[in-house]
Amino acid sequence: MEFSRLNLLKEFNINSKYKYVKLFIKTAEGKELNLGSGMRNNSEQIENINPLIDSLHINTLNHFKKFENIDSGTFNFKFKNEVYWNAFKRYPYKTGILNYLFTIPNSDLQTNSVSIISDYLKWLALILIAIGLILILIKKRFFYQSSRIKIPLIRELLKEDENRYLEFKSSSRWDYRQEKTNPELEKIILKTLAAFGNTDGGILLIGVDDDKNILGLEKDFSTLKKSTADYYEVHLRNILHNLMGVKYVSKYVRMQFETCEDQKVICKIKIIAADEPLYLKYKNKNGQVEEKFYVRSGNSSQEIKSIAEINDYINTRFKK
């Protein structure tokens, strides 16, 4: 015969799938051979396997005889409290094999199914874990991108005039008109930033005048203990933290410094459109604390003074 037991077992993938299966072969010479289960040695040739004669084999063949006129099919029967599933196929005489009969107990079939499902669940769990990690990475990526929003270069920003989203300020402390330090200018910076946050966001350039001339921050630096951009940023952030709150500044305010071609340093502050309204609290001449609410109107920052108008604006802008 051209068929070996090894090749047949390999063809049916018996050893890797099931433990107690039986594969019966009937040759053209009329021999009935049992290739056995995965418990046997795969290297034996089919000619060397002795016919199996036992009660299970007899029961199997008796049921198989009922399908003599059918070329292929499946059937099952119960034997000693166990259900056996069978599949058969008949071949032309010239092949050397008249038919094969594949038998497997139901318990082995169920065990294999559970094993397959278990394998699928393991792979599914690994896939879900991988997807979860990918989603976490994506979430982190977008989070950090939004936390480090890039501010355009000065040369790009100066192509635009002041508008709803862009404003220029000569300084935050040095008064060019009075030629001295004027702390009141810091309130104007805060007013602009609050207005951007309460509207649609925007960018404030400190060190650029209304005519888009680059003045730099040297004059502002000279009013502080240390004439550096780092110290200037710390000073400015402390003011923002005190009047806007650390949480608000951390969430919506981005600050960068850029050195222009003439070595003049500009402070660029970008305000993200806030999800919450911001009131600035100032002390008036009498020492009383007043709350002020600012918004952008065209290219300027305006205070809404009416409580009714403020409530209407907040309900429209923030409570969507």
Per-domain residue ranges of the chain: 5-110, 153-317
Q: What is the DSSP letter of 205?
A: E
Q: What is the pLDDT of residue 79?
A: 84
Report the mean per-residue pLDDT for the chain: 80
- Please report which confidence band the pLDDT of residue 161 belongs to, taking 50, 70 and 90 as the band edges: very high
Q: Under CATH, which architecture does the 153-317 domain have?
A: 2-Layer Sandwich (3.30)
Least confident of 51-55, 156-160, 244-248: 51-55
Q: What is the CB neighbour count within 10 angstroms for residue 260?
A: 16
Percent of the chain with pLDDT strictly greater than 70: 76
Q: Does residue 54 surpass a pLDDT of 80?
A: no
The C-alpha atoms of residue 14 and residue 54 are separated, in whole angstroms, by 21
Query: How many Å is the Cα radius of gyration of the chain?
Result: 42
If one compares 134 and 171, the residue with the highest pLDDT of the two is: 171
Using an 8 Å Cβ cutoff, are 204 and 169 in contact? Answer: yes
Least Cα distance to 65 among 92, 39, 99, 107 occurs for 99
5-110: what fold?
Beta-Lactamase (3.30.450)
Least Cα distance to 292 among 281, 300, 307, 308 occurs for 281
For 112, phi and psi rounded to 5 degrees? -65, -40
- Please report which confidence band the pLDDT of residue 115 belongs to, taking 50, 70 and 90 as the band edges: low
> How many degrees, rounded to 5, is the angle at CA 152 between CA 151 and CA 156?
155
If one compares 115 and 297, the residue with the highest pLDDT of the two is: 297
CA dist 5 to 40, 94, 102, 148, Å?
10, 19, 14, 68
Least Cα distance to 239 among 267, 199, 265 occurs for 267
Q: What is the pLDDT of residues 27-43, one digit of tens each?
A: 767 777 766 544 333 33
- Please report which confidence band the pLDDT of residue 49 belongs to, taking 50, 70 and 90 as the band edges: very low
* pTM metric for this prediction: 0.55
